[in-house]
Protein backbone atom coordinates (compact mmCIF):
# COMPACT_ATOMS: atom_id res chain seq x y z
CA UNK A 1 0.00 0.00 0.00
CA UNK A 2 2.84 2.36 0.76
CA UNK A 3 4.32 1.45 -2.62
CA UNK A 4 1.11 2.40 -4.41
CA UNK A 5 1.02 5.73 -2.56
CA UNK A 6 4.70 6.26 -3.36
CA UNK A 7 4.09 5.67 -7.08
CA UNK A 8 1.23 8.18 -7.03
CA UNK A 9 3.35 10.78 -5.24
CA UNK A 10 6.31 10.21 -7.58
CA UNK A 11 4.04 10.66 -10.61
CA UNK A 12 2.22 13.77 -9.34
CA UNK A 13 4.94 15.49 -7.29
CA UNK A 14 8.18 14.19 -8.74
CA UNK A 15 11.51 14.18 -6.94
CA UNK A 16 12.43 17.86 -6.72
CA UNK A 17 10.01 19.09 -4.04
CA UNK A 18 7.96 17.95 -1.08
CA UNK A 19 4.18 17.46 -1.27
CA UNK A 20 2.24 20.59 -0.30
CA UNK A 21 -1.37 21.54 0.50
CA UNK A 22 -2.32 22.10 -3.14
CA UNK A 23 -1.25 18.57 -4.12
CA UNK A 24 -3.80 16.85 -1.90
CA UNK A 25 -6.64 16.94 -4.45
CA UNK A 26 -4.34 15.37 -7.06
CA UNK A 27 -3.45 12.42 -4.79
CA UNK A 28 -6.65 10.34 -4.59
CA UNK A 29 -4.94 7.17 -3.34
CA UNK A 30 -3.09 9.07 -0.61
CA UNK A 31 -6.38 10.69 0.49
CA UNK A 32 -8.02 7.25 0.56
CA UNK A 33 -5.07 5.90 2.55
CA UNK A 34 -5.55 8.61 5.20
CA UNK A 35 -9.29 7.94 5.41
CA UNK A 36 -8.58 4.24 5.89
CA UNK A 37 -5.97 5.00 8.57
CA UNK A 38 -8.57 7.04 10.46
CA UNK A 39 -11.20 4.32 10.07
CA UNK A 40 -9.06 1.31 10.77
CA UNK A 41 -7.12 2.63 13.77
CA UNK A 42 -9.05 5.57 15.24
CA UNK A 43 -7.15 7.63 17.74
CA UNK A 44 -10.31 8.05 19.83
CA UNK A 45 -11.99 5.05 21.44
CA UNK A 46 -15.01 6.85 22.85
CA UNK A 47 -16.87 9.82 21.50
CA UNK A 48 -18.15 12.79 23.45
CA UNK A 49 -21.04 11.72 25.69
CA UNK A 50 -24.51 12.69 24.47
CA UNK A 51 -27.74 12.79 26.46
CA UNK A 52 -31.07 11.62 25.10
CA UNK A 53 -33.80 14.27 25.16
CA UNK A 54 -36.63 11.76 24.96
CA UNK A 55 -37.22 8.01 25.20
CA UNK A 56 -35.82 6.08 22.25
CA UNK A 57 -36.77 2.60 21.12
CA UNK A 58 -33.84 0.93 19.37
CA UNK A 59 -34.30 -2.62 18.15
CA UNK A 60 -35.72 -4.36 21.25
CA UNK A 61 -34.22 -1.86 23.71
CA UNK A 62 -35.84 1.12 25.38
CA UNK A 63 -33.44 3.97 26.17
CA UNK A 64 -35.01 6.37 28.66
CA UNK A 65 -34.89 10.15 28.34
CA UNK A 66 -31.88 11.80 29.99
CA UNK A 67 -29.66 8.75 29.40
CA UNK A 68 -25.99 9.38 28.71
CA UNK A 69 -24.79 7.60 25.55
CA UNK A 70 -21.11 7.28 24.69
CA UNK A 71 -20.31 6.46 21.04
CA UNK A 72 -18.01 3.44 20.63
CA UNK A 73 -15.69 4.72 17.88
CA UNK A 74 -13.88 1.41 17.12
CA UNK A 75 -17.20 -0.44 16.84
CA UNK A 76 -18.56 2.19 14.45
CA UNK A 77 -15.34 2.00 12.44
CA UNK A 78 -15.55 -1.80 12.12
CA UNK A 79 -19.28 -2.06 11.42
CA UNK A 80 -19.79 -5.04 9.08
CA UNK A 81 -22.99 -3.51 7.71
CA UNK A 82 -21.10 -0.37 6.67
CA UNK A 83 -17.75 -1.81 5.55
CA UNK A 84 -16.92 -4.93 3.57
CA UNK A 85 -14.18 -6.83 5.43
CA UNK A 86 -13.88 -4.17 8.16
CA UNK A 87 -10.88 -5.85 9.81
CA UNK A 88 -8.86 -5.62 6.61
CA UNK A 89 -6.85 -2.47 5.91
CA UNK A 90 -7.94 -1.46 2.39
CA UNK A 91 -7.64 2.18 1.26
CA UNK A 92 -9.42 1.34 -2.02
CA UNK A 93 -12.75 1.47 -0.16
CA UNK A 94 -12.38 5.28 -0.10
CA UNK A 95 -11.28 5.92 -3.68
CA UNK A 96 -13.63 8.56 -5.06
CA UNK A 97 -14.61 9.90 -1.61
CA UNK A 98 -13.46 13.51 -1.93
CA UNK A 99 -15.06 14.88 1.23
CA UNK A 100 -12.81 16.14 4.01
CA UNK A 101 -13.44 14.94 7.57
CA UNK A 102 -15.61 17.95 8.44
CA UNK A 103 -17.86 17.56 5.38
CA UNK A 104 -18.11 13.84 6.03
CA UNK A 105 -19.03 14.32 9.70
CA UNK A 106 -21.81 16.75 8.81
CA UNK A 107 -23.35 14.34 6.31
CA UNK A 108 -26.80 13.38 7.66
CA UNK A 109 -26.44 9.86 6.23
CA UNK A 110 -24.40 7.76 8.69
CA UNK A 111 -23.42 5.38 5.89
CA UNK A 112 -21.70 8.17 3.98
CA UNK A 113 -19.23 9.06 6.75
CA UNK A 114 -15.60 8.07 6.30
CA UNK A 115 -14.78 7.83 10.03
CA UNK A 116 -16.07 8.98 13.42
CA UNK A 117 -13.16 10.09 15.56
CA UNK A 118 -13.79 13.84 15.23
CA UNK A 119 -17.30 13.68 16.63
CA UNK A 120 -20.87 14.05 15.46
CA UNK A 121 -23.00 16.99 14.35
CA UNK A 122 -22.77 20.01 16.67
CA UNK A 123 -20.22 18.16 18.81
CA UNK A 124 -17.72 18.09 15.97
CA UNK A 125 -14.07 18.77 16.86
CA UNK A 126 -13.00 22.25 15.68
CA UNK A 127 -9.40 21.01 15.48
CA UNK A 128 -10.25 18.42 12.83
CA UNK A 129 -8.97 20.70 10.05
CA UNK A 130 -5.57 20.99 11.73
CA UNK A 131 -5.45 17.27 12.57
CA UNK A 132 -6.43 16.14 9.09
CA UNK A 133 -4.06 18.60 7.39
CA UNK A 134 -1.19 17.66 9.68
CA UNK A 135 -1.75 13.97 9.06
CA UNK A 136 -1.79 14.55 5.29
CA UNK A 137 1.44 16.57 5.39
CA UNK A 138 3.24 14.08 7.64
CA UNK A 139 2.17 10.92 5.79
CA UNK A 140 2.61 12.28 2.27
CA UNK A 141 6.08 13.62 3.08
CA UNK A 142 7.17 10.41 4.81
CA UNK A 143 6.01 8.41 1.79
CA UNK A 144 7.75 10.92 -0.54
CA UNK A 145 11.05 10.82 1.36
CA UNK A 146 11.41 7.21 2.50
CA UNK A 147 11.11 3.72 1.08
CA UNK A 148 8.68 1.78 3.25
CA UNK A 149 8.56 -2.00 2.97
CA UNK A 150 8.24 -5.12 5.09
CA UNK A 151 11.35 -6.64 6.60
CA UNK A 152 11.97 -10.12 5.20
CA UNK A 153 11.02 -12.81 7.68
CA UNK A 154 9.04 -10.47 9.92
CA UNK A 155 5.27 -10.39 9.62
CA UNK A 156 3.41 -7.30 10.74
CA UNK A 157 0.28 -8.20 12.69
CA UNK A 158 -1.63 -5.00 13.44
CA UNK A 159 -4.27 -6.95 15.38
CA UNK A 160 -1.74 -8.36 17.83
CA UNK A 161 -2.49 -7.37 21.41
CA UNK A 162 0.54 -5.52 22.74
CA UNK A 163 -0.64 -4.90 26.28
CA UNK A 164 -2.42 -7.05 28.78
CA UNK A 165 -4.11 -6.46 32.10
CA UNK A 166 -1.72 -8.81 33.92
Residue 121: its pLDDT value, please? 64
Tell me the C-alpha distance between 58 and 127, whole Å.
Answer: 32
* Number of folded domains that form the chain: 1
Residue 160: its pLDDT value, please? 56
Question: What is the domain extent for residue 127?
Answer: 2-44+88-145
Residue 125 falls inside a structural domain = yes
Tens digits of residue pLDDT in 117-150: 887 766 678 888 888 899 999 999 999 999 887 7
In the beta sheet, which residues pair with residue 56? 63
Helices (H) and strands (E) in the chain, counts: 5, 4
Residue 5: its pLDDT value, please? 93
Residue 136 falls inside a structural domain = yes
Torsion sign, CA atoms 93, 155, 44, 22:
negative
Residue 54: its pLDDT value, please? 95
* Longest distance between any two alpha carbons in the chain, whole Å: 60
Residue 63 falls inside a structural domain = no
Residue 163 falls inside a structural domain = no
Residue 77 falls inside a structural domain = no
* Helix, strand, or coil (residue 119): coil
Regions in the chain scoring below 50 on pLDDT: 162-166
Residue 57: its pLDDT value, please? 93
Residue 123 falls inside a structural domain = yes
Residue 99 falls inside a structural domain = yes
pTM listed for this prediction: 0.81
Residue 2: its pLDDT value, please? 76
Residue 50 falls inside a structural domain = no
Amino acid sequence: MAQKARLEIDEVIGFDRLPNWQDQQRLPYCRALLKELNRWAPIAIAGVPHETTHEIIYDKYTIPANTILIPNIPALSRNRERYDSPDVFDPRRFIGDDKDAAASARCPDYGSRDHFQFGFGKRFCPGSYVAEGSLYMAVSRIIWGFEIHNIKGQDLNMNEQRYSNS
